[in-house]
Amino acid sequence: PVERTLSLIKPDGVERNLIGQVLSFFEKGGLKIVAMKMLHLTKAQAEEFYIVHKERPFYQELTEYMASGPIVAIVLEGENAIAKCREIMGATDPAEAAEGTIRKTFALSKGENTVHGSDSPESAAREIAFFFSELEICPRS
């Protein structure tokens, strides 16, 4: 099915000037960018975005980090976009990420791992709506 997924270029990616290279991984992987914006989340907004991880030990660290600098929010569209985006990103921990993935290439640690991608159709719908209105999305399929 043609799906949409939400990806974020995290503060370490923006800070290290990797926006263009990260977008290239997605485009070369066959995904289409249908919406994009740069923004700097407040701590409260980061907490809301990652609310499903509220009980995790790394929640404070994660949300402080995500509010520490600008990020880029991207909606990707394509056949099986949710799984494809995750494949292009590689495993959460760069030490476990496959060769040729974004995280293997750029990530610094499990936390500073350069990109986020939705993990299910339900998360994708929620995460896209968190950042974008339907008017801001340009369907390309």
Q: Which residues are annotated as a binding site?
A: 10, 58, 86, 92, 103, 113
Exactly one of 116, 118, 127, 131 is catalytic; which is it? 116
- By beta-carbon proximity to ligand CMP, the closer residue of 98 and 138 is 98
Q: Is 37 helix (H, G, I), strand (E, B) or coil?
A: strand
Residues 98, 104 contacting (CB under 8 angstroms): yes
CB closer to ligand CMP, 104 vs 110: 110
Token couple for 14 = 């923006």
Query: Residue positions in the annotated binding site for ATP?
Result: 10, 58, 86, 92, 103, 113
Question: Among candidates 38, 117, 22, 116, which has minimal Cα distance to 71?
Answer: 38
Contact positions vs ligand CMP (CB under 6 A)? 53, 58, 61-62, 92, 110-111, 113, 116
116 catalytic? Reply is yes
Task: Using the Cα atoms of residue 55, residue 91, residue 44 and residue 132 in order, give the sign of their dihedral.
Answer: negative
Q: Give the active site residues.
A: 116
